[in-house]
Amino acid sequence: MTRILAYRFSAFGDVAMTAPVFREFLEQNPDVEIIMVSRKNFESLFSDIPNVTFKGINLDEYKGIFGLRRLANELAGEFNPDFIANLHDVIRTKILDRIYRRKGFKVFKINKGKEEKEELTDVWNLNKVQLRKTVERYADVFREMGFNVELSHKLRPAVGQKSGIGLAPFAQHKGKMLPLEKSYELAKILAQRNTVYFFGGGKKETETLEKWENEIPNTKSLSGKLTLSEELEKISELELMISMDSANMHLASLMGTRCISIWGSTHPYAGFLGFGQSENDVVQVTDLTCRPCSVFGDKECYRGDWACLEELNIQKIVKAANS
């Protein structure tokens, strides 16, 4: 059995994107085991994938170079891997790579395409093109090790009756998030025909979504009420998920649920469309030459009016949901 030690520490959506890649890679290479090292609370993302052992860590316990050296020694001692897969490529994981190379391990890392993404998000670049999908970039790390892997880019819906629509109106950055009044109106329209379940997390989001539940008939807020594994189970039972370009889109992909995704200052061209999701289910303002201006939605709007979100017509989302 070949053993690969892989690490990716954040963000939630990026870690979730590794799971369908692992599943298909391991199905095609059954004599391989992956040790996935990430934040403890991400464990449920990998719980049903054979040949994945999840190692949850608290990064606060491994601060600085000495802390990372201790982490590297602990992981090498516990798992004795044949290969190291750096699926993150940030300063912390670069240090781990260096330590492992000195110990004689074979280390492979993701090519995140930083320069291409900078060119893509240059607002004066009018020739925008689709970049390599992030899930393929993950798979490339295993290909470089000498393994074959062909990703299907297809959803695997859960068996059983599906009902209801999930709506996840929040995102980490403003550039990814539909104005809340638009999401509220969208929920009102959708709830006329379907039960709508609200997804969110954190105190402020939970308060907002509980208020919506009280004001809009046929809706239910699940924010703050479910563990990650329960949330994944619920998403698998939905007929449809509606999400910003954020983690819930990737959770829907993981559970085989169709997702209509809403994009503002970011764009599927950067490679972050959920695994197996259809480009026909992408909702965005298509005639703004400044889009995308950001890979992660964390930049201020250079025009100052957030037209990519303010001008988005929710009827586009309703039409997609009814198709």
Q: Which CATH class is domain 165-322?
A: alpha beta
Q: Is 261 within 8 Å of 245 (Cβ atoms)?
A: yes
Q: Where in the chain is the domain with CATH 3.40.50.2000?
A: 2-145, 165-322
pLDDT at 323: 85
Distance between CA atoms of 308 and 287, rounded to whole angstroms? 9
3-state secondary structure of 288: coil
Beta-bridge partners for 107? 84
pLDDT at 84: 98
Q: Say which residues have a Cβ less than 8 Å from residue 73's Cβ, sequence separation at least 6.
A: none
Distance between CA atoms of 32 and 9, rounded to whole angstroms? 22
Q: Which of 3.40.1360.10, 3.30.450.40, 3.40.50.300, 3.40.50.2000 is the CATH number of 2-145?
A: 3.40.50.2000
pLDDT tens digits for 247-301?
A: 999 999 999 999 999 999 999 999 999 999 999 999 999 999 999 999 999 999 9
Residue with tokens 């329209």: 189
pLDDT at 11: 85
pTM of the complete model: 0.96
pLDDT tens digits for 121-162?
A: 999 999 999 999 999 999 999 999 999 999 999 999 999 999
